[in-house]
A = this chain, B = another copy of it.
Amino acid sequence: MEVKILKNILGANDQIAERNRMLLEQNNIFTVNIMSSPGAGKTSLILQTIKRLKDKTRIGVIEGDVSSSIDAEVVGREGVPVIQINTGGSCHLDANMVSNALNNLPLTNIDLLFIENVGNLICPASFALGEHRRVIISSIPEGDDKPFKYPVMFHDADIVLLNKIDLLPYVKFDSDAFSRALRSINEKLEIIPASCTSGEGIGEWLSWLLAQMGGS
């Protein structure tokens, strides 16, 4: 008699994330998971990107929040397909929530999908969603010590966008200390200083994004 042994190599979330990724790749959709503290500028970065790229690339958005549909309403006004996920109380998106959202998006009409995670520098890092890249936004008013306090999130990022640099003259923030802290956690991590208000650095962000899409 032969005994069948089933190895559960991936946990449930990772299995669903892999299925999401396959579905996204079948549809040639490059997907970016954007994570940050509350109010660091996730929605602002998505809006800036839509405004500058929407004539070149078909963009879709999944908005994650514990509660409310404020962000989806703002993004929807730009004329792109958007789905709001309310987690109810959960502090992060998971692959199953994203799977449900993908079932409700016009996938054949999207080339670039942003998933805006729940505002939280801890929990979202542990949940793969099927994304191709992970972007962390850190903002000047939060202070230069965040990489030390939330190392897992920064360790697993593909890039850090340092937002709100227009506020540098008004707050205490040591840019060199921030860079050193980041490098001590992930020495290859690229930092793009930017401001979604003034537009500074957004060109560099778009260059990075388009290069990733080309070479994904």
The verdict on A149 contacting B66 (CB below 8 Å), with A119-B121, A170-B170 known, is yes
Query: If the complex has contacts A70-B145, A149-B65, are A119 and B167 also in contact, measured as CB distance less than 8 A?
Result: no
Contact with B along A83-94 (1 / 0, CB 8 A): 000000101000
- In A29-64, which residues have CB < 8 Å from any B CB? 37-39
Q: Which of B67, B123, B171 contacts A150 (CB 8 A)?
A: B67
Say how far A87's CB is from chain B's closest CB, in angstroms: 9
A interface, over-half SS: loop
The answer to whether the Cβ of A120 comes within 8 Å of any Cβ in the partner chain is yes
| In the complex, A152 has a CB within 8 A of chain B | yes
Segment with Cβ contacts to B, from A6-14, A95-103, A136-144: A136-144
Kindly state whether residue A146 has any CB partner on chain B within 8 Å: yes
The residues of A with any CB-CB pair to B shorter than 8 Å are 37-39, 65-68, 70, 89, 91, 118-123, 126, 139, 141-143, 145-146, 148-152, 164, 166-167, 170-172, 197
A38 with B70: CB separation less than 8 A: no
What are the residues of chain B within 8 A of A148 when measuring CB–CB? 67-68, 70
Distance, CA A20 to CA B151, complexed state (A): 30
Q: A139 to B39, alpha carbons, bound, how many Å?
A: 9
User: For residue A152, which residue of chain B has the nearest CB?
Assistant: B89
Once the chains are docked, how many angstroms separate the CA of A164 from the CA of B170? 10
Of B38, B126, B149, the contact of A121 (CB 8 Å cutoff):
B38
- In the assembly, what is the distance between CA of A128 and CA of B199, in Å? 43
Q: Enumerate 19 A-B pairs (CB-CB under 8 Å) in ascending A order.
A: A38-B121, A38-B146, A66-B150, A66-B151, A67-B150, A68-B148, A68-B149, A70-B149, A89-B152, A91-B120, A91-B122, A118-B122, A119-B121, A120-B121, A122-B123, A141-B164, A167-B171, A170-B170, A171-B197
